[in-house]
Structure formats: C-alpha cells, structure tokens
Amino acid sequence: QVQLEQSGSELKKPGASVKVSCKASGFTFRNYVMNWVRQAPGQGLEWMGWINTNTGNPTYAQGFTGRFGFSLDTSVSTAYLQISSLKAEDTAVYYCARFHCSGGSCYLDYWGQGTRVTVSS
C-alpha cells in the first residue's frame, strides 16, 4: 500500500537549519510529483511547492523562496525539505503529499503523517 513516512519532530534554535525527510513506498516514486504543505499552529494548509521526481526540478510557491529547498534521493525513494536560517514563524507542521492527476483532475491523494518543526531559543 502507498505510504509516505516522514521524519520525526525537530526542535531548533533560530538561525539553525532543519532537513525533513519523506520516504515513499508502495508506488513507483519517479512517476509522481511530490508536494510540501505547511500548517502553522492553529492555521490552515499552505502549499509550499513541489518537486518533479524525474528531473529533480523544484517549484516554490510565493513566500517559500530563498530559505526553503526541496531535494530528492531517488535511490531510496525519499524527498527532502530543508529550511535554513530558521525563524520563529517557521514553527509549523510540514507535510509531504503525492500529486496525482487522472481524468482531467489533479489532487493530493496520499499524505505523510507530518513533521512538527519548532523554532525556539
């Protein structure tokens, strides 16, 4: 069955970096685009961007350029989100999600369990 297993919670100090992993199983990793979604405490879902698992080409939403980076290790079917120069406002749960298109519609059909990143001094 399709699974997206994310790495565990992180507690970081302001200015540090963090790398969140999302390991895929149960499907052919390179056949799907992987998305990242942020949810700040008590807030809604915010699309951060996606990465093409064939080309490695990332696309970032407005507000997620510069300090945010998406990467892959296709040998282990894993996508990564790295955030540098962490700020308190980066405190959130970060989700990876698989992007699927069929029959003229596109959607995020499977989600990781989420990784909580807390930035605090």
Partner 1 sequence: SSELTQDPAVSVALGQTVIITCQGDSLRTYYASWYQQKPGQAPVLVLYGRNNRPSGIPDRFSGSSSGNTASLTITGAQAEDEGDYYCDSRDTSGNHGRVFGGGTKLTVL
Interface ranges with partner 1 (CB under 8 A): 35, 37, 44-47, 49-50, 59-62, 95, 97, 99, 102-114
Q: How many residues does the chain have?
A: 121
Helix (H) or strand (E) holding 106: strand 105-111
Using the minimum distance from each CB to partner 1, give the nearer residue, 45 or 88. 45
Closest contact distance (angstroms) between CB of 111 and partner 1 is: 4
Using the minimum distance from each CB to partner 1, give the nearer residue, 17 or 113. 113
Closest contact distance (angstroms) between CB of 15 and partner 1 is: 28
Q: What are phi and psi of 88, to 5 degrees?
A: -55, -35
Provide CB contacts within 8 A for 99, sequence distance 6+.
Answer: 32, 33, 34, 35, 50, 106, 107, 108, 109
Using the minimum distance from each CB to partner 1, give the nearer residue, 54 or 107. 107
